[in-house]
Amino acid sequence: MAPPAKRKRTLSAPAIFRGTALYVFLFICLFVFAFPLVWLFYSSFKTQPEIFENAFALPKQLNIANYLHIWGSGSFGRYYLNSILVSTVSVAGILALSTMAGYVFARVRFRYREVLFTVLLAGMMIPSQVTLIPNFILLRNVNLLDSYAAMILPYIAFQIPVSVFIMRGFFKELPVEMEDAAYMDGCGKKGIFFRIMLPLSKPALSTITIYNFFTVWNELIFALTFTNSQKYRTIPVGIMDFVGQFETDYGYIFAALASASIPLLIVYFFAQKQIIKGLTAGAVKG
């Protein structure tokens, strides 16, 4: 029961005040959320004495020595390559397995389909931490500890439930007419999947690619537990080793921290909409 206030578009004093308060609030939030990132980025171009002299000041010149040093030092580049390799292969595996399973759950009728789907969905409730020890023992028993496969296989397994859920939802929305036509032409179920469904599913594929790429790129606890040599370590664990090694060489560390996110940031500024969709896609299940 609001009072029938006169809603005019003139700016009264309280309205101006409210408007100002709004922007003050938003800019405070902007500072809190963005300043640490901006600070890290410009600090990574400072020399060690500059950092100690004034931690807030902008760099006197764009000094890329820190970056040259860490990228030239061998191990950091190795972590980066490992991360790229592990993320790419994992995402490819997730895409392959979850599109196939998503298609079957959306379009192929058979008994126990819904039961199987529910069983798979239940996996979204299993925290990876719970499986850490058994997976470590398993990988050790089959001699896979400290290898790329030790990360890639569990990564694929853990991303399957949510990815299948997204793909199934997408396939269900596609019109059935085209399939029927292909059916008439004697196309089998597999043919329909590869020739009709897959080419149509680009939007969903990009969503799960982004979601899974970010998840895998950031994954820490499996990478930490299932690898122990520099040869296989990915960026998250590599950064921990790196910081332990350079502890007070702030310039190097800042450059390393900034480098760790650069691929993610670049993708973000080019494909913001898709990323937001992709990263929140995992939340669609209520």
Partner 1 sequence: MTMRRRLSGDTLSTVLLFLIPAFALYAVFLVVPVFQSFRYSLFRWDGLSPLDRFVGLGNYKELLGDPVFWKSLANNSILLVFSLITQLPVAILLAVLLTDKVRMKGLFRTMFFAPQIISTVAAGYMFYYIYEPTFGILNQLLRALNLGSLAKGWLGDTNLALYAVLFVISWRFVGFYMVLFMASIEGMPVEIFEAATMDGCGKWMIVRKITLPMLRDTIKTACVLSIVGSIKYFDLIWVMTQGGPAHASELIATYMYKKTFLSWDVGYGSALAFTLFAIAFVLSSVFMKSTKSESGGKSMRKGRAR
Q: Which of 10, 12, 14, 56 binds partner 1 (CB under 8 A)?
A: 56
Q: Which of 8, 9, 14, 109 binds partner 1 (CB under 8 A)?
A: 109
Q: Is 65 one of the binding residues for partner 1 (CB under 8 A)?
A: no
Q: Which of 269, 267, 250 is nearest to 48 (CA)?
A: 250
Residue 227 to residue 45: CA distance in whole angstroms: 32
Helix (H, G, I), strand (E, B) or coil at 196: helix
Map the footprint of partner 1 across residues 157-216, applying CB under 8 A. 157-158, 160-161, 164, 169, 172-173, 188-190, 193, 214
Q: Is 286 one of the binding residues for partner 1 (CB under 8 A)?
A: yes
Q: Which of 46, 154, 162, 207 binds partner 1 (CB under 8 A)?
A: 154
In order of 46, 50, 132, the CA distances from 147 in angstroms are: 36, 41, 16
Options 62-70, 84-92, 197-205, 272-280: segment touching partner 1 (CB under 8 A): 272-280
Q: Is 137 one of the binding residues for partner 1 (CB under 8 A)?
A: yes
196 neighbors 182 (Cβ within 8 angstroms): yes
Determine the residue type at 22.
L
Q: Is 33 one of the binding residues for partner 1 (CB under 8 A)?
A: yes
Q: Is 240 one of the binding residues for partner 1 (CB under 8 A)?
A: yes
- Report, in Å, the least distance between residue 61 CB and partner 1: 21
In order of 99, 147, 154, 182, the CA distances from 195 in angstroms are: 13, 35, 30, 9
Q: Which of 114, 125, 229, 270 binds partner 1 (CB under 8 A)?
A: 125
**């691929």: which residue's tokens?**
263
Helix (H, G, I), strand (E, B) or coil at 248: coil
Q: Is 126 one of the binding residues for partner 1 (CB under 8 A)?
A: yes
34/68 with CB nearer partner 1? 34
Q: Is 270 one of the binding residues for partner 1 (CB under 8 A)?
A: no
Q: Is 252 one of the binding residues for partner 1 (CB under 8 A)?
A: no
The separation between the first and the last C-alpha atoms of the chain, rounded to the nearest angstrom, is 33
- The number of residues in the chain equals 286
Q: Is 283 one of the binding residues for partner 1 (CB under 8 A)?
A: yes
